[in-house]
Structure formats: C-alpha cells, structure tokens
Structure 1
Amino acid sequence: MPNEPKAGRADGVSRRRVLLGTAGGALSGLAGCITRGKDSGLEGEIRMDGSNTVLPHGAVVSEEFQWRNNQVEIPVRGSGTGAGFQRFCGGETHAQNASRPILEEEQERCDRNGIEYVELETALDGIAVFANPANDWCESLTVDELARIWESGSDVETWNDVRNGWPDEEIELYGRDPASGTFDYFTEEITGEIGNIRSDYAASADTNVIVRGVRGDRHALGFGGAGYYYENEDDLKLLGVDDGDGSVKPELATIERGEYQPLTRPLYTYFRVDALARTEFRRFAQFYFEEIDGEATEADIVRPGEELTWTQWAARRVGYYAIPDEVRETSETKLADAIAEVQG
C-alpha cells in the first residue's frame, strides 16, 4: 500500500483506497480544488473523462501536475470508456481515459465532428477473476473453463458443471456492464468476441458493486480490474488463470513481464490534437512522460536504480502496473509527433 500523503499535499486522491472508492464519478479533489502548490504561470481548464478503470491513474497524474501548476483545473470523471468516447468525440472533453482501443464507430463519430486525436498507452492492468473467500474448491480456472462459464448460451449453471467434484451449487456471476472497456476486453479475450456473454449475470458499471456481490455469496464468481481485488483482498479470493502454460495470478511481476495472459491489457489515454496547441494542455500531456522528481520516491513504488516517468509511477501508485520502457518511448514519440503537427 502506498505511503501516507506528504504533509502539505492535497490528499483527496493520494491513496488508492480513496481513488478506487470514488471511481464511479467525478473526483472532487481534482475539480479545480488544488488550493496549494506552485503557481507556474500556466492556467486554464482541462476536461478528462472515460474509463472507470483508468480514472485512478489519470487522477493521480492530474493531481501531481496541478500541484506544480495550481492555476490549471483538471476535473476528472469516470463515466466509462464508451460513455467517455461519446463526449470526447463530440468535442466536450480534451482527454479520454480508455481501457480498450477506440472502436470503429467511435472513430467515425470523431471524424464527423472533426476531432483528431493521438492514442497513447499509459499503463497496464490485469483483469482479475475472483471468488468468495469461503470458496475452498477452486484455486484457478482455465481459459476454456472461463469461456464455458461466461459465453452467450452457456449451459454452465453450477460449479459442478465446470469440474466434477465441485459443489452442485449455482454460480452467481458478477461483472462489468457493456458500457465498460473492461467488459469489451474480457469478452473478446475469453469468449472470442466483444459482447459475447451470457445474459443472466449481474452487470454493473462500478467494480465496487461487483466486489460487494462476490463478497456476499459463497458461490459467486466475478471479474474486474486487479486493483480492485488488491483493495479488497481480505474480502475476496483471487483465482489464477491458466492459458495452457500453468496457472498465473495477476501480480506486479507477472503483469509487467507479460506472463498473465490473456488478461493483461494496455490502458490508454487519448489527447485531442487541436487542444495540444494550448500551452497548459500540451504541458499536461508531456508531463505523463517526464521523469518523476524527488517528491515521488516511495520505496514500494520505485525500485533501486529505476527511472520512472509520471505515467509509470502513477500506475503503480494506484495499484496498476507500469508500461515497459519501450512502450513508453513509443507513446512519447507519438505525442511529440502530434505536437509537431499542431504547431506546424
């Protein structure tokens, strides 16, 4: 768990517990309420929306930027990847957090409205599969078993339908709703097609609701961002996923080394190219890829000898995972090219 906030810092989003607990809507601590910090001379408003999953990462980067530029206001919302793209492609927001790439129909909406964007990978996440802690029969599931459980038209009703010898008790299923990028990624990777999922599961836009559902039923099974599991690990049981090479659980090492498959996924931030002409917005986008300073050296986030950028540091800070350096370099180059384009 990250260290306590430093004295003198705005603490509205300084700990993962606060961030994940408020991920369903706006983070009031980031709605222009940074009342201390440094006046760099930059000012303006940057509107960010999108993924409920990616919200904590964007919120921490925004908080750190606002601390150094306290006349810039960055309200951050987490209305969901799909809902966020509706606003982003309609020109209502400047930055979009996404837990999956933009879809073709969303690209077309952006094109119709003249919204040009740059897509950057900024963090990694693992989608966790978890059960009730009283579940003493299941330690892991294969990808094939997960597909049989979750696919549309599934005939799996009980745990015994999954494996002989497991309880002949109905599985209560909890997962993200179709507006979620987590839903899109999970269904595509597990059942082979976005939206291919049974209709009789309890769907929610808020992973905290899923956590509560699984926590309250011994025979429940759910999926959601791994950060939510680690925030509630006393109330949930983390299951391994076996893609044919053995059971692996989503942990920092297995995700950052690419071993947790197929449920390790990139997380994205989209920036409007036209907004990069504004100095405060351009500096904010570049801040993602600047090296962290001396105020961000928590031992549980930064390993000896590591040189992290703010996007990598923020990912670990909120319970997600740092993109590899080669991915960071690619994203930084894409951003630099977009800036050069808008500056002529």
Structure 2
Amino acid sequence: MSRDPTGPPPARLGRRHFLAGTAVAATAGLSGCARTMAGQAREVNIAGSSTVFPITEVVASEFSKKREDITVSISQTGTGGGFSNFFCPGMTDINNASREIADAEVEQCSENGIEPVEFQIATDALTVVVSPEANWVDCLTVEELREIWLEGGARRWSDVRDDWPDQPFEFFGADSTSGTYDYFSEAIIGEEGSHRTQYHATERDRTIVQGVQGNPYAIGYFGFAYYDENPNQIKAVAIDDGNGCVEPSIETAKQGEYTPLSRPLFIYAAKQALERPEVQDFVEFYLEQSATDMVNEVGYVPVTEEVRDENLEKLETTIDEVTDE
C-alpha cells in the first residue's frame, strides 16, 4: 500500500493489521487523477472526508484482496474540498462525506455534468477530546461547548467555570473545508454565531491527537474512530444535552442517546462513473459491508439491514439508468 508521508502513519490502524500489503493507495493530492482515470480503465478514485476515510480504507483493502485487477486510490481532502476540487470537477468517482452535500456543491456538480448519488454508510459519534491530564473536566454542556468554540467566546478554562484553571485554551479542530467542521458548527455553534477562527485547523486527525495528548489545556474534536484508536493518549469528554452527561460510544450513538453530536456518514458516487463495471462492483461491495462488523471495528455504527437494502436497490436502479442510456 502506498501512503502519503504527511498522512496518518500505518501504526494508526492498530488492530487492523490486515490493511498492510494491499493495493489501496492513500495519497495527499489528486493532481494526477484526471490523467490516471484516462489512462487506466480499472481504477476507482476517491477523495473527501477524513472521518469516513478509515471505513473506506478498510472496505477498499478487503475489496482489493478479492479484486486484484482493480486499484482503489483514496485521498483525505475534507468533505468540502473533495466535492469542490475533485468530485464535482469530474476528477474522482466517489466522495467520502461526513455531511450531506450542499446545494452549492450540487449546482457545481451539475454545471460539470456530474450527478451525485447519496448512500449513507455509517453513523458517527463526533467526539470532543482533552488531555488525560485535564482531570478537572469529564463532561461539558452543549452551551459550555458553544462558549468554548464560539468566535469571541471563552479564552481561558476559568471563563467557563470559575473553579477551572486560569489557563488559556489551545484549540485543535477540523479545517473549514471539512464536513466535521460544518456539522460541529451547525450542531454546537448554531446560526447566530460562528466557529472561532483562531485554532489549529487540520484535515489530519492524527495531528489533533498529537496536539491534545501532551497539553493539559488543549481541547479538540473529530470523528469517534480516531478517539477509539487512541483511548490512552487522549480523553473523551461526555456531553450534556439537557438529559445528563453521555459519553461518546458506538452504543450511545446507535441508541440515539449521544446528542447532538451523533451524525450520519455518507459516500457519494458520480452517476456517470457507475457506467464503469469497476465502480459498480466497488460500490456494491461497499454497501454490502456497511451493515457488518467491519464498520464496528473501525469505530462507527453500521447501517441497518433495511438501509443497506435500500442503498443496494438505489444502486441497481442507477446502474440500470446509466447503462440503458
């Protein structure tokens, strides 16, 4: 497996050793995508969300074991960056997304003759993390979390609660091109405010782990899978949405108890790309796996069998449409 040296190191995959030695390519940029797609008929190109990336990587790894004739290339660009820079311009076949596609992105795709087809493939418990050394905080209310991340909001821990340290926050979070940023902003900040701009913004979730783990005054957020792989390096903060403190977990997300930070995760396939058998086969395999323990092992909640079957029916209908045209 070829990897981007600036991306998450192989060790990040921890218990999923079966990822090693596959044909999946995880790259930082897709400047050569258009050329690659034109020159190789048996390649599936994917960009988008870093949150969805671990699921897609595992699925692609297993797919490549069964289909050595097809190469699956994956890049972490953020949901918005994936849509605007690669998927809507027609440079990739699939976009990982930690939020629904925006109207402006649908319009951009349409202008380029691209019709996105949405499939929900998991549920995430977006997780707020601090250093294990931050022993004064185990739970935050939604309003406290808003005060921390609001532009012009709290600057020091003691601004939130008087008995907390009189020390400035160090903030780590998703880049503004990320679906995680969009979802967090909507769920926590709301329409009447804006997400703070002075923070360490990144699409590399491993960077957030590294920034938070050694700093008792740091706080960050990202998809649950990245916490689940590093439970001894960082501490997850429970969230109180008015019904008591609830810790992020696969179970609390599945039961709908972890609010408001449980969210659906998606892949979007370009309808036109589904004319190609290799894209058809990969998406079908992905949707079949989305209801299995493969998603659990990554740290997310699988979809129900009902959602899986609806997705497979939508895929079949779409393939019939593009192959009959």
CA-CA distance at 1:148 after TM superposition? 1.1
Matches within 5 A, 1:167-246: 167-193=165-191, 196-246=194-244
Q: List aligned pairs for 1:325-340, cutoff 5 A.
A: 325-340=305-320
Identity of aligned residues (%): 40
Q: Does 1:324 align with 2:304?
A: yes
* Aligned partners of 1:61 and 1:311 also within 8 Å: no
Please point out which of 19, 24, 28 is paired with 1:25. 28
The runs of 5 or more residues in structure 2 that have no matched partner are 1-12, 30-40
Separation (CA, whole Å) in 2 of partners of 1:323 and 1:44: 28
- State the 1:325 CA deviation: 2.9
Q: Which runs of 5+ in 1 are unaligned?
A: 27-42, 291-308
**SS at the partner of 2:268?**
strand
Question: Quick check: 1:187–1:194 contact (8 Å CA) kept in 2?
Answer: no
What whole-Å deviation, never above 9, does each CA across 1:139-171 have from its counterpart, x for those lacking one?
1001111111111221x1221211121222212
Q: Displacement of 1:320 after TM fit?
A: 2.0
Q: 1:4 to 1:192 in 2, by over 3 A?
A: closer
- Quick one: distance in 2 between partners of 1:234 and 1:228? 12
Inter-partner Cα distance in structure 1 for 2:307 and 2:171: 35
Find the counterpart in structure 1 of residue 143 from structure 2. 144
Report matched runs for 1:40-119 at 5 Å.
44-86=42-84, 87-119=86-118
Question: Which residue is 1:255 aligned to?
Answer: 253
Deviations 1:200-238 (A, max 9, x none): 222122111111111121111111111111222111111
Deviations along 1:87-129, one digit per CA (max 9) or x if unpaired, are 1100101111111111111111101011012101011111111
Q: Which position in structure 2 is the counterpart of 1:37?
A: none
Aligned-pair distance for 1:23? 7.3
Question: Partner amino acid for 2:303?
Answer: I
For the 8 Å contact 2:291–2:304, the answer to whether it is kept is: no
Aligned-partner residue type, residue 120 of structure 2:
E
**Cα–Cα, structure 1 residues 109 and 243, in superposed 2: closer, same or farther, change >3 Å?**
same
Q: Give secondary structure in 2 for the equivalent of 1:100.
A: coil
Is 1:11 the counterpart of 2:10? The answer is no
SS in 1 for 2:135: coil
Q: 1:24 to 1:192 in 2, by over 3 A?
A: farther
Aligned residue identity for 1:126: A
Query: How far apart in 2 are the matches of 1:24 and 1:137?
Result: 39
Map of 1:287 onto structure 2: 285
Change (3 A) 1:45 1:195: farther
Cα distance change, pair 4–335 in 1 and its aligned pair in 2 (3 A):
closer
Paired AA for residue 64 in structure 1: E
TM-score, scaled to structure 1? 0.81
Cα pair 1:46 1:281 within 8 Å, conserved: yes
Cα distance between partner residues in 2 of 1:195 and 1:61 = 38
Q: Against the structure 1 CA distance between its residues 172 and 286, is the aligned structure 2 distance closer, same or farther, given a 3 Å change threshold?
A: same
- Equivalence for 1:123: 122
- The answer as to whether partners of 1:207 and 1:228 remain within 8 angstroms in 2 is yes
More helix by share: 2
In structure 2, do the counterparts of structure 1 residues 310 and 196 end up closer, same or farther at CA, with 3 Å as the change threshold? Answer: same
Which residue of the partner structure matches residue 302 of structure 1?
A: none
Answer with 161-170 or 127-136: which moved more: 161-170
> Cα gap change, 1:3/1:206 in structure 2, threshold over 3 Å: closer, same or farther?
closer
CA distance in 1, matches of 2:54, 2:241: 29
Q: In structure 2, what is the Cα distance between the partners aligned to 1:180 and 1:122? A: 18
Change (3 A) 1:79 1:311: farther
For 1:13 and 1:223, how far apart are their aligned partners in 2? Answer: 30
Distance 1:195 1:160, change over 3 A: closer
**TM-score, scaled relative to structure 2:** 0.85
Contact 2:88 2:108 in 1 (8 A): yes
Task: Work out the CA distance in 1 between the residues paired with 2:235 and 2:120.
Answer: 29
Question: Could you say if the C-alpha distance between residues 133 and 324 of structure 1 is closer, same or farther in structure 2, counting changes exceeding 3 Å?
Answer: same
Secondary structure in structure 2 of the residue aligned to 1:335: helix
Question: What is the RMSD of the two structures over their aligned residues, measured on CA atoms?
Answer: 2.5
Residue aligning to 2:294: 314
